[in-house]
């Protein structure tokens, strides 16, 4: 579909030209104009879906975590990928990703803001010894994503083991801790209509599917169907429900008991949608109705809010059949929704089409076995088998496999194509993209039947809500939100000019006006690490307000349950090994594990080029600020009015004096009382700068600017107004450098410093060009065993990919 260059035709034109209208990148819409009313309804649905997509751009984040099992003291490394939720191309809109580590009960224990550039970012958590052993969740999102359901956030379960504490014993499994869910195809069971019913049996302890069998009986006890899961606890059966009858399912539990489960209600009127894959690469869709004979219906197919099919039809004897060419569908999940004559959605079905274009990545090691402390060389080659050379951005982790740590069940391709558009947790998602999983149509269809999902709700689309979204994208940097309220009433204060500053160098100063909710928004670009923030108003004008820096992290959480933490006694040996590994790493290489890369940022003050600059040590040092200002600061004249000091800055372009006080800053913090700055000790001031012209900053203008900078950059004891808020605020995370020892020389290989690393290599930023090889080199440790190489990434045109490779490390030190 040329979605980005061709807009949806207007409703009137849609009625005249209703065949062959191209609406998307995948295929055109074919509409049978049966009735004028139905065509209007179809046009309205399509138009509102397009409007919703334009208003509600979807972002998807994916985190490549270096591992899934950690011990306290470990570093958790991650790479962030941001893509457009529709086309899956790298998305360079949001410049900040919010990463959280959540414990049981959705309580955040670690949080970070990570800078994004060209759709990627990287960071790390240092796991403190205070964390309890258990199952945790890592989640990621952008500020823009906070406008939508938290179910859209990326979430990854991880296990953290505190080896300093006694490990909890495995909990007793409850015999009845299972549940079975039923999902009629299309959404409803209709009396007298032969229907496919999918089911899913889940183990409540693990959250995974259970291979338990059961049956369905009617109210008279007659056998109706058998429940035989096919894979991951999911399966389906076909039967014809009867009007007025109630059905009950039961599953046989491991202990011999049975768990009874009520069956979905049987409706005596309504709609049903059934889908069947045909041998000639076509897809047949049957729409059936009970109690609605002769009515028109409308079928809309869309993939990630792109229209792939739109067709009006009339139900003849309660049935209509639509046949589609599967090649015309979009890659990934296609949603098919049936609307009635009134334009209301009545049933829905999902279909998955395997991506037609596959990015081929060759990953090879120089050999299959390595010695201790030997260099490993990996060759990466991207093969553009489906067109022109395509660049890609990828990340790599290399770690040891043991009873705790296995190959990951989730990869970027399974998440982007599958999980991010499905409801609930998908078990072993990478299976569906494996060589055998791609051919397992039954497993995929069971997944589509049991995990319905839309990244919007039809009622919101059809009502065409125009309410502004509360969170705007962070196009240039972190948006810090502050709230201003009246001290007496606590009500929001609207229209109040507020000033935000962070003492230090370079000078950063921001202003904003509070909105109707009392919220002031500050774009704090290039703000890294933990620093003090000062928030205030001009207390000469506004003195009765309370200030609060708002939490930038989302306080909305998904309903996904964390898996139960169970530690087998057979794993204790590997737990002890991991404890030793971490302790040795901190003992021998601890100082090298805390190296940070200096961020590239603008080091100039926000006001840019100055009119005058004075380094006070270059002049005679006075002990009184008044003498400093009168003796050699040419662009500022000092006046007194009513026993108060005032500054009059020379407006150089017009060769006249401003009449109002300029903006005065001390280490970037506004000082609204000239008397206070005149009382400050000038011996603490290193530099003084003057803007001798009218100065514009955001919505405000100042009659000049005078900036004092101390030697220490921390206000040097200057007392702020007690009404101002001063609070430590965590900015963007500084980038830590991954450290691993090198063994290039014989002396290094024979070093007596122990090296028991479990994570051999972490490379979050590898860029490949098709048909151009890249070599990655690192060294093995003194830990023998099997090691796994995991590579994940995405191409510039939106093709996610992953690759894995194993090699062994044997028990001798390498020699030249």
Residue 777: C-alpha distances to residues 181, 374, 741 (Å): 49, 10, 12
pLDDT class of 454 with cuts at 50, 70, 90: low
Q: Residue 172: what pLDDT?
A: 52
665-672: average pLDDT: 95
CA pair distance 308, 25, nearest whole angstrom: 8
Q: How far is CA 797 from CA 83, 274, 418, in A?
A: 10, 34, 18
Whole-angstrom Cα Rg for the chain: 32
Q: Which residue has the tokens 């055109």?
A: 28
β-strand partners of 183 = 198
pLDDT higher than 50, residue 134: yes
User: If you average pLDDT over residues 529-555, what whole number do you get?
Assistant: 91
Pure H helices in 510-571: none
Show the tokens assigned to 463.
């009502």
Whole-angstrom Cα distance, residue 374 to residue 810?
10
* pLDDT confidence band for 185 (50 / 70 / 90): very high
Residue 629, pLDDT > 50, answer yes
Give the residue-averaged pLDDT of 569-589: 87
pLDDT band for position 4 (50/70/90)? very low
d(CA 24, CA 790): 35
Condensed to tens digits (0 to 9), the pLDDT of residues 328-374 reads 999 999 999 998 888 888 899 999 999 987 788 899 999 999 999 99
- Mean pLDDT of all residues in 740-752: 92
In the DSSP assignment, the letter for residue 328 is: G
Q: What is the mean pLDDT of residues 241-270?
A: 90
Laid out side by side, the sheet with 178-184 consists of: 178-184, 195-203, 234-239
pLDDT beyond 70 at 253:
yes
Inform me whether the pLDDT recorded for 428 exceeds 90.
yes
List C-alpha distances in Å: 618 to 10, 95, 389, 506, 682.
Answer: 71, 42, 59, 21, 13
Q: Which among 118-122, 391-395, 578-582, 606-610 has the top mean pLDDT?
A: 118-122
pTM value > 0.95: no
Q: Could you tell me the pLDDT band of residue 255, with boundaries at 50, 70 and 90?
A: confident
Q: Is the pLDDT of residue 586 over 50?
A: yes
The answer to whether residue 15 scores a pLDDT higher than 60 is no
Burial call 675-708: b when 16+ CB within 10 Å, e when fewer: ebbbebebebbbbbbbbbbbbeeeeeebbbbbbb
Q: What is the pLDDT of residues 296-319, one digit of tens each?
A: 899 999 888 788 888 888 898 889
Handedness of CA 744, 746, 752, 757 (dihedral sign): positive
H or E element at residue 369: strand 369-372
Three-class SS state of 503: coil
Residue 277 has pLDDT above 90, yes or no: yes
According to the model, what pLDDT value does residue 9 have?
Answer: 33
Structure tokens at 680: 């400050």
Sign of CA dihedral 108, 112, 117, 120: negative
**Domain residue ranges of the chain, discontinuous segments joined by +:** 59-161, 612-730
156: number of CA atoms within 13 Å, CB side?
Answer: 27
> Can you name the CATH fold of 59-161?
Immunoglobulin-like (2.60.40)
Note the pLDDT of residue 497. Answer: 94
CA distances from 299 to 336, 455, 481, 586 (A): 7, 19, 44, 61
> CA 99 to CA 112: how far, in whole Å?
5
Report the pLDDT value the prediction gives residue 20, as an integer from 0 to 100: 31
With pLDDT > 90 as the criterion, what percentage of the chain qualifies?
A: 65
| Residue 453: predicted pLDDT | 64
Work out the angle at residue 794's Cα, subtended by the Cα atoms of residues 789 and 800, and round it to the nearest 5 degrees. 85
Q: How many residues does the chain have?
A: 816
End-to-end CA gap in the chain: 58
Neighbours of 129 (CB within 10 A): 12
Indicate left, alpha or beta for 366 from its phi (over 0: left) and psi (-120 to 50: alpha).
Answer: alpha
Strands 154-161 vs 319-325: parallel, antiparallel or unpaired:
unpaired
pLDDT of residue 543: 76
> Could you tell me which residues come within 8 angstroms of residue 66 by beta carbon, excluding any fewer than 6 positions away?
76, 77, 78, 397, 399, 759, 762
Token couple for 244? 């007025």
How far is Cα of residue 733 from the mean position of the Cα atoms in its chain? 16
Greatest mean pLDDT range, 86-100, 379-393, 597-611? 86-100
**Cis peptide leading into 506, omega within 30 of 0?**
yes
> Which residues on adjacent β-strands are paired with residue 485?
492, 546
Q: Is the pLDDT of residue 3 over 70?
A: no
Q: Are 690 and 633 in contact (CB under 8 A)?
A: yes
CA-nearest of 281, 372, 361 to 325 is 281
Q: Is the pLDDT of residue 736 over 80?
A: yes
**Alpha carbon distance 510, 498 (integer Å):** 8
What is the DSSP track for 55-114? HS--EEEEEEES-SEEETT-EEEEEEEEEETTT--B--S--EEEEEEEETTTEEEEEEEE
Bridge partners (DSSP) of residue 735 are 597
For the segment 87-98, the average pLDDT, to the nearest whole number, is 94
Mean pLDDT within 114-142: 95
Provide the CATH topology of domain 612-730.
Ferric Hydroxamate Uptake Protein; Chain A, domain 1 (2.170.130)
Q: Does the pLDDT at position 598 exceed 90? A: no
pLDDT tier at 594, thresholds 50, 70, 90: confident
Label residues 564-601 b or e (16+ Cβ within 10 Å = b). bbebeeebeebbebbbebbbbbeebbeeeeeeeeeeee
Strand 69-71 with 154-161, pairing:
parallel
């Amino acid at each position: 579909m040329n979605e980005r260059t061709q807009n949806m035709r207007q409703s009137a034109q849609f009625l005249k030209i209703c065949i062959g209208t191209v609406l998307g990148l995948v295929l055109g819409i074919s509409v049978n104009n049966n009735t004028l009313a139905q065509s209007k309804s179809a046009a309205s649905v399509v138009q509102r879906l397009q409007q919703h997509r334009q208003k509600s751009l979807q972002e998807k984040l994916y985190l490549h975590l270096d591992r899934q099992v950690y011990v306290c003291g470990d570093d958790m490394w991650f790479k962030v990928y941001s893509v457009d939720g529709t086309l899956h191309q790298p998305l360079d809109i949001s410049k900040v990703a919010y990463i959280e580590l959540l414990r049981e009960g959705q309580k955040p224990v670690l949080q970070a803001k990570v800078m994004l550039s060209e759709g990627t970012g990287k960071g790390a958590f240092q796991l403190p010894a205070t964390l309890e052993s258990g199952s945790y969740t890592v989640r990621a999102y952008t500020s823009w994503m906070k406008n939508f359901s938290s179910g859209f956030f990326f979430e990854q379960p991880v296990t953290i083991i505190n080896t300093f504490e006694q490990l909890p014993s495995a909990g007793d499994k409850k015999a009845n801790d299972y549940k079975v869910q039923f999902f009629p195809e299309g959404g409803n069971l209709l009396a007298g209509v032969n229907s496919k019913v999918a089911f899913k049996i889940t183990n409540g302890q693990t959250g995974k599917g259970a291979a338990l069998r059961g049956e369905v009986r009617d109210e008279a006890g007659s056998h109706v169907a058998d429940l035989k899961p096919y894979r991951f606890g999911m399966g389906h059966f076909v039967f014809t429900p009867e009007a007025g009858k109630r059905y009950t399912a039961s599953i046989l539990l491991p202990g011999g008991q049975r768990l009874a489960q009520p069956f979905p209600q049987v409706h005596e009127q309504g709609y049903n949608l059934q889908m069947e894959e045909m041998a000639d690469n076509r897809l047949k869709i049957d729409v059936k109705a009970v109690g609605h004979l002769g009515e028109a219906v409308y079928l809309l197919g869309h993939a990630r809010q792109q229209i792939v099919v739109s067709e009006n039809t009339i139900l003849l004897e309660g049935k209509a059949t639509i046949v589609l060419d599967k090649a015309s569908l979009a890659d990934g999940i296609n949603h098919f929704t049936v609307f009635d004559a009134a334009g209301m959605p009545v049933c829905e079905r999902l279909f998955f089409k395997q991506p037609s274009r596959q990015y081929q990545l060759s990953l090879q090691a120089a050999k299959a076995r390595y010695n201790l402390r030997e260099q490993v060389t990996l060759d990466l080659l991207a093969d553009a088998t489906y067109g022109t050379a395509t660049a890609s951005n990828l990340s790599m982790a290399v770690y040891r496999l043991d009873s705790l740590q296995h190959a990951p069940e989730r990869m970027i391709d399974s998440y982007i194509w599958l999980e991010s558009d499905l409801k609930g947790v998908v078990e072993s998602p990478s299976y569906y993209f494996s060589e055998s999983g791609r051919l397992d149509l039954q497993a995929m269809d069971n997944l589509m039947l049991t995990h319905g999902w839309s990244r919007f709700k039809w009622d919101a689309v059809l009502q065409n809500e125009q309410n502004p979204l509360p969170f705007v994208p962070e196009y240039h940097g972190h948006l810090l939100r502050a709230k201003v309220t009246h001290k007496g009433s606590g009500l929001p204060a609207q229209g109040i000019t507020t000033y935000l500053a962070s003492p230090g160098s370079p000078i950063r100063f921001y202003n904003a006006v509070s909105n109707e909710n009392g919220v002031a928004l500050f774009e704090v670009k290039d703000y890294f690490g933990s620093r003090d923030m000062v928030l205030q108003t001009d207390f000469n004008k506004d003195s009765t307000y309370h200030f609060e820096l708002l939490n930038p992290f989302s306080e909305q959480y998904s309903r996904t349950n964390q898996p139960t933490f169970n530690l087998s006694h057979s794993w204790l040996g590997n737990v002890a090994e991991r404890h030793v590994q971490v302790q040795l790493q901190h003992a021998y290489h601890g100082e090298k594990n805390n190296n940070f890369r200096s961020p590239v940022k603008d080091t100039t003050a926000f006001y840019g080029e100055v009119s005058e600059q004075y380094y006070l040590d270059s002049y005679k040092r006075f002990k009184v600020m008044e003498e400093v200002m009168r003796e050699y600061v040419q662009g500022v004249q000092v006046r007194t009015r009513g026993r108060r000091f005032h500054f009059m800055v020379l407006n150089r372009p017009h060769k006249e004096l401003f009449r109002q006080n300029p903006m005065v800053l001390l280490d970037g913090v506004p000082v609204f009382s000239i008397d206070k700055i005149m009382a400050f000790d000038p011996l603490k001031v290193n530099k003084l700068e003057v803007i001798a012209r009218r100065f514009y900053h955001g919505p405000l203008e100042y009659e000049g600017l005078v900036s004092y900078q101390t030697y220490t950059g921390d206000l040097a004891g200057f007392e702020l107004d007690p009404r101002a808020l001063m609070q430590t605020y965590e900015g963007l995370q500084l980038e830590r450098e991954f450290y691993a020892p090198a063994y290039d020389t014989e002396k290094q290989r024979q070093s007596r410093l122990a090296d028991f690393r479990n994570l051999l290599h972490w490379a979050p930023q590898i860029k490949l060009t098709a048909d151009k090889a890249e070599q990655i080199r690192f060294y093995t440790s003194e830990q023998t065993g099997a090691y796994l190489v995991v590579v994940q990434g995405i191409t510039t045109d939106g093709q996610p990919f992953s690759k894995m490779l194993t090699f062994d490390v044997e028990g001798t030190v390498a020699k030249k």
